[in-house]
Amino acid sequence: EVQLVESGGGLVQPGGSLRLSCAASGFTFSNYAMSWVRQAPGKGLEWVAPISDSGDSTYYADSVKGRFTISRDNSKNTLYLQMKSLRAEDTAVYYCAKAYISGWVFSAGDWGQGTLVTVSP
Amino acid sequence: EIVLTQSPATLSLSPGERATLSCRASQSVSSYLAWYQQKPGQAPRLLIHDASNRATGIPARFSGSGSGTDFTLTISSLEPEDFAVYYCQHRSDWPPTFGQGTKLESK
């Protein structure tokens, strides 16, 4: 059974930093692209950043480019999202998602339960 | 950026009825379209990938159709657990955008 468990969310002041982690199990982590997708309170879904299975390819939403960095450690089966210069509009539930098919970078077949990031003074 | 427009915004139906949800893309996404279901307080769940392929474990009452710019999600006979918000999403290129969602509510 695929399990994705996010951690690292919380309350942070504007301009602050936070690192999210996603611990993966139940599948061969190094074979799948992974992504972070977020959802602001009461709003729709936004694809924040995907990363290829090897970690060689990454993409970023314009809204986070230059501030967020996605990375992965295939030896630890863990996905990360380093967030800097946080803004109020970054407040959201952040989901970790696994590609449905290994090569489909922009797909999300399994999702974690999400971790809430709140940016507020 | 490809914009996905879902309609209607809200759909009020009763259990046992047929639900038809629409998703229109601002340019062709070929068949690279997925549908997700999201219930309050839960993560989205993949229902359909590549326009018409049910994901693993999804009941046969869910079906998808379409290609290019016009897509439909059909739920043949609504069960009580089907009332939720449904999102479409393309994977044609970066960024892979979502529609704004259709809320399926019980009448």
**Contact of A53 with A73, CB cutoff 8 Å:** no
Chain A residues 31-70 within an 8 A CB cutoff of chain B: 44-47, 50, 59, 61-62
Percent of chain A beyond pLDDT 70? Answer: 100
On the question of pLDDT at A16 being above 90, the answer is yes
Chain A residue at shortest CA distance from B103: A44
Q: What is the pLDDT of residue B80?
A: 97
Amino acid letter for position A77: N
On the question of pLDDT at A102 being above 90, the answer is no
Q: Which residues of A33-53 are buried (b: 16+ CB within 10 A; e: fewer)?
A: bbbbbbbeeeeebbbbbbbbb
pLDDT confidence tier of residue B74, bands split at 50, 70 and 90: very high
Strand-strand pairing, A34-39 and A92-98: antiparallel
On the question of pLDDT at A121 being above 90, the answer is yes
B46 touching chain A per CB within 8 A = yes
pLDDT digits (tens, 9 = 90+) for B32-70: 999 999 999 999 999 999 999 999 999 999 999 999 999
| Distances in whole angstroms, Cα of residue B82 to Cα of each of A6, A68, B72 | 26, 35, 16
pLDDT digits (tens, 9 = 90+) for A53-64: 999 999 999 999
Sequence-ordered strand ranges (E) for B1-107? 4-7, 10-13, 19-25, 33-38, 45-49, 53-54, 62-67, 70-75, 85-90, 102-106
On the question of pLDDT at A103 being above 90, the answer is no
